[in-house]
Structure 1
Amino acid sequence: MPRFLPVLGLLVSLATGPASAAYPVTVGPADWPWWRGPTRDGVAPPNQTPPQKWSATENVLWKAPVPGRGHGSPAVVGDRVFLAVADAQTETQAVHCFDRKTGELAWATVVHRGGFETKGNAKSSLASSTPACDGRRVFINFQTANTITTTALDLNGKILWQRKVSDFVQHQGFGSSPAVYGPLVLVTADNKGGGAAAGLDRETGTVVWTRTRPKLPNYTSPVILPIGGKDQLLLTGCDLVTSLDPLTGSQLWEHKGATTECVTSTVTDGRHVFTSGGYPKNHLAAVTADGSGKVAWESGARVYVPSLLYKDGHLYGVQDEGVAVCWRCDTGKQVWKERLGGTFSASPVLVGDVVYSVNEAGKWFLFKATPEAFTLVAENKLGDEVFATPTICGDHIYARVAEKVDGQRKEWLYCLGKQ
């Protein structure tokens, strides 16, 4: 279980990195401060009791309108919910802050105007990054005017600093989310023009370290995971699996073990890094994370966009084409699979022993994370289009969905909880 409160001069936890009085990370045990949650692996904080049944009217605590189109997830810290927004009508990219209890809009800050890129995959958006919050600042990445820029705002929506990470050559789109670690915010911008990975000072935006990345398209976010008693910054895709020291950017190890284009965020069982991708080949592999370069196993399973979950020696995934699968971590052997139906882009979230997963048509499937057999817990319907991964914390579900009324698409942020 991660520990969240900073202790001066000590390693606070493997989730937040070393803390100091100048760089505290003040988030609580019921928060979801960044992409894939407090432990960065899609696992909800312990002892959560979100609803398992809901509809457009049942167990809806509040519903807030969201302008434009975006696929980033909400970040939840304290009494605030943060969301990246892109509005094509006004050509603005912004961060919106909602009251966690009521859903009322607290503030909306435009981060960029103009520079909208209309090319790319039809399933991408110009607000696909999930904000990260350290309790004092909110960090967000946006692609605009052929560049990737990271912006820091205070909790009242004031822009504190902006830093260009890399030039960007559009291919399918951009969706890499920032990651808070120690005194830094970590960012990546892989692309065909040659991207970068960087560590930026959270207080000032100063570039502390940077590394050039291959000239290949890729879409993953930086992920820090504890392996072998050490925090490793893991990058997958570009035909590589790369491990860096998150504080210095120095390479710990790197070797081939991934396909070129990846979207998913990797997880670990403490021994392996699991990499999955979809171009130029369908690809799922377990890479030994000790620097030996050994690929323990590899299969042709297609887990391209939705990220994997790890629990008790097994991987659980929902493939893009709508099939739930359980694999053994040590051998890659498929234990069971079950067709859910539909197409999936959002990543599943693990709450206790239940997986929450939603397809692109807004149909939710809840099933047990157990190797015994596929066990369906519940099915629900909310919205007509869902690409954003849900956020589950504080016994609530925060879901970004789109509804179509009279042929018009409208986004909403729902807060679901037991009434």
Structure 2
Amino acid sequence: MQDRYAARLSALGLSIILLAISVPHTIASDWSRFRGPNGSGVSPDTETMPATWTDTENVKWSIDLPGPGSSCPIVVGDKVFVTCWSGYGLDRNEPGDQEDLKRHLVCVNRENGKVLWDKSIDPYLPEDEYGGMFAEHGYASHTPVSDGEKVYAFFGKTGVVAFDMDGNKLWQTSVGMESGIQNWGTASSPLLYKNLVIVPAAAENHALVALDKETGSEVWKQEAEGFAGTWGSPILVDGPDGDKQVVLAVPGEIWAFNSDSGKLKWYSKGPGDNSYTSSVVTSDGNIFALGNRDGDTIAVKVGGKGDVSESNILWTSRERGGIGSPLVHDGLIYWISRDIATCIDAATGEEVYQERLETPPADETAAEEAGGRRGRFSNSSYSSVVAADGKLYFITRQGLCYVLKLGPEFEQLAVNRFGNDEGDFSATPAISDGELFIRSSEKLYCVAEKK
């Protein structure tokens, strides 16, 4: 092919083509999966990020969404993708008819907020009933993932659906149709590796399933009862032998799989007991799993075979978090749970600081008023911390977005909210090129410093 083109094109033109072929389809500033680059929550961008905003200040655009969802937006080039649901389960008291349920994958122009396309997907039925803990997040909780050529959305029992960037449906594959043992629904998000879409079908099949990106056919599947009660998402980790490993935490353990074959490489003691909602993070060849109510935070060295609990656990810490995932940056691990910001040393697990967030007086008053926004949601926020430009961002379900300064000293820079949005802010924000993308159950926002 290169010889054919070389005969027709100038040397300069050929150089341009070869450069284009060598460049990945996604670029460094893209936020193409749950919590951005490898699920770290940390953006490599150096652009100035906003610290403050209101409904009008530093808001580039905002749009109404076709329905609610807890999934996070992703950003690929000039497009933003987000999933929603509609037709059923919009009211706890009168959820409606499941026959009317639709899942949506929405593509938005990142420059102006214009909806480029909105594709609806018919559900597998019967679905889980809308109510109880399931209603705390609903039918669009998995964050999509993209390689810049295609975007892949996971909708639980309805399966994995692939679209091209113009919204043409390419394939749809089921990865299981079971319900979780707690009937809390499902939320783990997929990742991409080489030609694979790796899907944590924890509730649907008690399995980790790898699908071919081009066809949706199953390449490998690893089944285990231990996947039950898992809501975290996997990450990719470099093994000591140069291989790529898929790592995630399940209740009570941390598991690492060969990314090409799905075979278990090693496992270790981990946090949790009956359930585990957080995702692990990695730095300097180590895995960090945030403790919850059933277990302590743990650091584990990557590598080995079989049970490496005795040899590879570096430290455990009594510090515990909640539903969201932590991030590690410059040797420090951060998370926020129940309005408490915690920072520990990644090398030792020792506490660096633990401070309560300062809530605006107006919101303290609202918390005491029946029906106020802070009264409608529990204090257990679902989103995770993200970071860029020396700032850490965290949004509560009530819509308060805290901005902290990264570093060993606690410093709260600001707390922001959209006063005209009474929706549920359960999704983790996305970051790309100095812009913050925030979704509620009602709207999608692009927040940026006005130039």
Q: Which residue of 2 aligns with 1:374?
A: 410
Give the partner amino acid of 1:325.
T
Report the alpha carbon displacement of residue 227 of structure 1 after superposing the two structures with TM.
5.0
Q: Which residue of 2 aligns with 1:310?
A: 328
**What is the number of residues matched between the two proteins?**
384
- Residues 46, 24 of structure 1: CA spacing in aligned structure 2 closer, same or farther, 3 A cutoff? closer
Give the partner amino acid of 2:36.
G
Aligned positions of 1:280-319 closer than 5 A: 281-291=294-304, 292-293=308-309, 294-319=312-337
Q: Which residue of 2 aligns with 1:7?
A: none
- Residues 393, 138 of structure 1: CA spacing in aligned structure 2 closer, same or farther, 3 A cutoff? same
CA distance in 1, matches of 2:344, 2:292: 18
Percentage identity across paired residues of the two chains? 30
The answer to whether the Cα contact below 8 Å between 2:79 and 2:110 also exists between their aligned partners in 1 is: yes
The answer to whether the Cα contact below 8 Å between 2:400 and 2:416 also exists between their aligned partners in 1 is: yes
- Residues 22, 241 of structure 1: CA spacing in aligned structure 2 closer, same or farther, 3 A cutoff? farther
Aligned positions of 1:152-301 closer than 5 A: 152-170=162-180, 171-191=183-203, 195-214=206-225, 216-228=228-240, 229-260=242-273, 261-278=275-292, 281-291=294-304, 292-293=308-309, 294-301=312-319
Report the alpha carbon displacement of residue 307 of structure 1 after superposing the two structures with TM.
0.9
Residue by residue over 1:55-113, the C-alpha shift from the partner in whole angstroms, topping out at 9 and shown as x without a partner, is 11111111111122101111111221111111144410110111111111111111223
The answer to whether the Cα contact below 8 Å between 2:271 and 2:295 also exists between their aligned partners in 1 is: no
Residue by residue over 1:126-154, the C-alpha shift from the partner in whole angstroms, topping out at 9 and shown as x without a partner, is 101111111111101112xxx36111111
- Residues 40, 235 of structure 1: CA spacing in aligned structure 2 closer, same or farther, 3 A cutoff? same
SS of the aligned residue for 2:298 comes to strand
CA distance in 2, matches of 1:184, 1:58: 42
Aligned positions of 1:4-403 closer than 5 A: 25-89=24-88, 90-113=100-123, 115=125, 116-117=127-128, 118-119=130-131, 121=133, 122-143=135-156, 147=157, 149-170=159-180, 171-191=183-203, 195-214=206-225, 216-228=228-240, 229-260=242-273, 261-278=275-292, 281-291=294-304, 292-293=308-309, 294-319=312-337, 321-340=338-357, 343-371=380-408, 373-382=409-418, 383-384=421-422, 385-402=424-441
- Residues 136, 226 of structure 1: CA spacing in aligned structure 2 closer, same or farther, 3 A cutoff? same
Give the RMSD, CA atoms, in angstroms. Answer: 2.2
SS of the aligned residue for 2:314 comes to strand
Give the partner amino acid of 1:27.
T
CA distance in 1, matches of 2:348, 2:413: 28
CA distance in 1, matches of 2:176, 2:21: 27
Based on CA coordinates, which of the two structures has the bigger radius of gyration? 2
Runs of 4+ residues deviating >4 angstroms: 21-25
Report the alpha carbon displacement of residue 114 of structure 1 after superposing the two structures with TM.
6.0
Give the partner amino acid of 1:180.
L
Greater alpha carbon shift after TM alignment, 390-399 vs 169-178:
169-178
Greater alpha carbon shift after TM alignment, 383-392 vs 282-291:
282-291
CA distance in 1, matches of 2:280, 2:233: 9
SS of the aligned residue for 2:431 comes to strand
CA distance in 2, matches of 1:183, 1:398: 28
Report the alpha carbon displacement of residue 379 of structure 1 after superposing the two structures with TM.
1.7
- Normalising by the residue count of structure 1, what TM-score does the alignment of the two structures yield? 0.86
The answer to whether the Cα contact below 8 Å between 1:243 and 1:251 also exists between their aligned partners in 2 is: yes
The answer to whether the Cα contact below 8 Å between 2:124 and 2:158 also exists between their aligned partners in 1 is: no
CA distance in 2, matches of 1:25, 1:127: 29
Structure 2 unpaired stretches of 5+: 1-19, 89-99, 360-378
Report the alpha carbon displacement of residue 331 of structure 1 after superposing the two structures with TM.
2.0
- Residues 227, 347 of structure 1: CA spacing in aligned structure 2 closer, same or farther, 3 A cutoff? farther
The answer to whether the Cα contact below 8 Å between 2:257 and 2:265 also exists between their aligned partners in 1 is: yes
The answer to whether the Cα contact below 8 Å between 1:92 and 1:114 also exists between their aligned partners in 2 is: no
Report the alpha carbon displacement of residue 22 of structure 1 after superposing the two structures with TM.
11
- Normalising by the residue count of structure 2, what TM-score does the alignment of the two structures yield? 0.80
CA distance in 2, matches of 1:194, 1:164: 10
Report the alpha carbon displacement of residue 415 of structure 1 after superposing the two structures with TM.
0.8
CA distance in 1, matches of 2:321, 2:108: 33
SS of the aligned residue for 1:167 comes to coil
From the two aligned structures, give the one with the greater strand fraction: 1
CA distance in 2, matches of 1:272, 1:153: 35
CA distance in 1, matches of 2:198, 2:132: 25
CA distance in 1, matches of 2:176, 2:27: 33
Structure 1 unpaired stretches of 5+: 1-20, 403-410
Give the partner amino acid of 1:393.
S
Report the alpha carbon displacement of residue 375 of structure 1 after superposing the two structures with TM.
1.2
Report the alpha carbon displacement of residue 302 of structure 1 after superposing the two structures with TM.
3.0
Report the alpha carbon displacement of residue 119 of structure 1 after superposing the two structures with TM.
4.5
- Residues 210, 25 of structure 1: CA spacing in aligned structure 2 closer, same or farther, 3 A cutoff? farther
CA distance in 2, matches of 1:258, 1:177: 20
